[in-house]
Amino acid sequence: MNDDELLDDLGAAMRARASVPPGFLAAGRAAFAWRTVDAELAALAFDSAETGGVLSGTRADDAALRALTFATATLTVELEVGEDGLLGQLVPPQTGEVRVERRDGPPVTVTADDVGWFVVRPVPAGLVRLHVTAAEGGTVVTPWTTL
C-alpha cells in the first residue's frame, strides 16, 4: 500500500468512525452493567421461532405462540409464550426464584412452585433474560431474548 492509498484508506476509516450514531457508544458502554458473574449461562436448546412454529396439540387448552428451552448440565428452563403470559417450568421440578431482567425496565421476580411451575404476566416486552436461582439446580441465567 503506497502513501496515497494509505491516506485514502485512513480517510475512509476516520469518516466511518464519525458516522457512528453517538447512542451506539453509550449503549455499548452501558451493556457492561449487565455482566453476571454469579450465574451459569444456559444454552438455547430449542426455539420454535427458529424451527418454524410450535408443534400443534402439545397443549390442548392453551395454544402457545412460541416455545423455548434453555439448558445447563443441571437445570432446564422450558418457556411458553402464551396470549396473556409467559409460562415456565423448571426441570427437574423444584422451587426457585425467577427474576425476569429487562434491558428497558425494572426486573420482575416470580417464584417457581414446588413442581417448578411459574408464570409471568404480562409477557415482558423487549430484550429480556431470566435469572433463575433454583433450589437444587444452581443459579442460571438465560441468554438475552426477545419473546
Partner 1 sequence: MIATVRDDPTVVDLVGRARDGDQEAWEAIVERYATLVWSVCRRHGLSGPDADDVNAAVWLRLVENLGALREPAALAGWLRTTTRRECLAVLRGRRRQIPVEDQDLGDEVDAASDEWLLREERHIALREAFDGLSERCRELLSLLFADPPLEYKEISARLGMKIGAIGPNRQRCLERLRGSPGLAALLAASGNRTDRR
Interface ranges with partner 1 (CB under 8 A): 1, 3, 6-17, 19-21, 23-25, 27-29, 31-32, 34-37, 41, 103, 127, 129, 141, 143-144, 146
Task: Indicate the DSSP class of residue 65.
Answer: S
Q: Which is nearer to partner 1, 2 or 60 (CB)?
A: 2
| Distance in angstroms (rounded) separating the CA atoms of residues 18 and 71 | 41
Q: Are 120 and 104 in contact (CB under 8 A)?
A: no
Q: Give me the least distance between CB of 115 and partner 1, in Å please.
A: 29
Q: Give me the least distance between CB of 127 and partner 1, in Å please.
A: 6
Q: Give me the least distance between CB of 146 and partner 1, in Å please.
A: 7
Q: Which is nearer to partner 1, 13 or 63 (CB)?
A: 13
Q: Give me the least distance between CB of 97 and partner 1, in Å please.
A: 20
Cell numbers placing 134: 433454583
Q: Are 81 and 64 in contact (CB under 8 A)?
A: yes
Q: Which is nearer to partner 1, 19 or 56 (CB)?
A: 19
User: Given 3-state DSSP classes, what are the helix, strand and coil percentages for the chain, each rounded to the nearest 5?
Assistant: 20, 40, 40
Cell numbers placing 109: 421476580
Say how far residue 106 (Cα) sits from the centre of its chain: 15
Q: Give me the least distance between CB of 42 and partner 1, in Å please.
A: 10
Q: Which is nearer to partner 1, 9 or 84 (CB)?
A: 9
Q: Which is nearer to partner 1, 135 or 147 (CB)?
A: 147
| Distance in angstroms (rounded) separating the CA atoms of residues 96 and 21 | 41
